[in-house]
Structure 1
């Protein structure tokens, strides 16, 4: 028996939207032998500068256990460097290497061109409205949303 639900599955729709767009960028990343996660790390370090792994986890939306593996592979590929914080040897700062900076410089025009092609296909207005609405959602007080009371199991 089907149980009707009153709302559309917003998290699933957002995932479908992500995939509908990301499939246009994957060939660029694959051409440069990068995974989506590695590109997120490179892009955020390029945009925000050096940072600690926990900051990268937050910006890249990669869970800490996964980020550990991503960073280890990126270090082995000479895409990032790690250095300990002088005053606190437990802390580590992640930086782009010259190799990843060069890759980023080569990818950036291709990414920008792909965005232009997407914009040409769906329109500037839809792109602008999408950015606006996603920013509104992310800036909403989502942390104040109460959780539903769960029944006894």
Structure 2
């Protein structure tokens, strides 16, 4: 009696992410942004200034990679970094004016992409999926 192997959760999540990104990647390319840069912009726009390590964690970017992402974003005028007054080892990041403008110009376009995705997938299913994914993020080992 041979049982089929269980479907891979992590592989399925990656494949689903790639399917979703097909709706958003063209807009990012049009605006000259990488997926990582857009994640940083969105998080900073929603949550405000934060420490690099927390930003890296929220954006799912490895900390060594985050430094390079932020160097390029700072050079492009999208973010500002500064050392915390209380502890010079802590580096804080916030959106610069150009980053705010980038978010504003991208928002309408990205909302249209969400609508296109929702149109094919269904509003209720998308809400349910997001809810389940939020629950999965809370699971701890």
> TM > 0.5 between the two?
yes
Which 4+ stretches in 1 moved above 4 angstroms? Answer: none
Higher relative contact order (CA 8 A, sep 6+): 2
5+ residue gaps, structure 1: 144-153
CA distance in 1, matches of 2:91, 2:61: 17
1:33: which partner in 2? 32
* TM-score normalised over the length of structure 1: 0.87
CA distance in 2, matches of 1:12, 1:5: 16
Compute the displacement of 1:138 (Å): 1.4
Q: Secondary structure of the residue that 1:88 maps to in structure 2? A: coil
Compute the displacement of 1:6 (Å): 3.2
Aligned counterparts, 1:9-88, within 5 A: 9-88=8-87
Higher helix share: 2
Q: Which one has the largest radius of gyration?
A: 1
Compute the displacement of 1:5 (Å): 5.6
CA distance in 2, matches of 1:20, 1:88: 42
Structure 1 residue 137 and structure 2 residue 136: aligned? yes
Compute the displacement of 1:4 (Å): 6.5
CA distance in 1, matches of 2:99, 2:38: 10
CA distance in 2, matches of 1:27, 1:92: 32
CA distance in 2, matches of 1:137, 1:15: 14
* TM-score normalised over the length of structure 2: 0.94
CA distance in 2, matches of 1:91, 1:135: 29
Compute the displacement of 1:87 (Å): 1.4
1:150: which partner in 2? none
Q: Secondary structure of the residue that 2:92 maps to in structure 1? A: strand
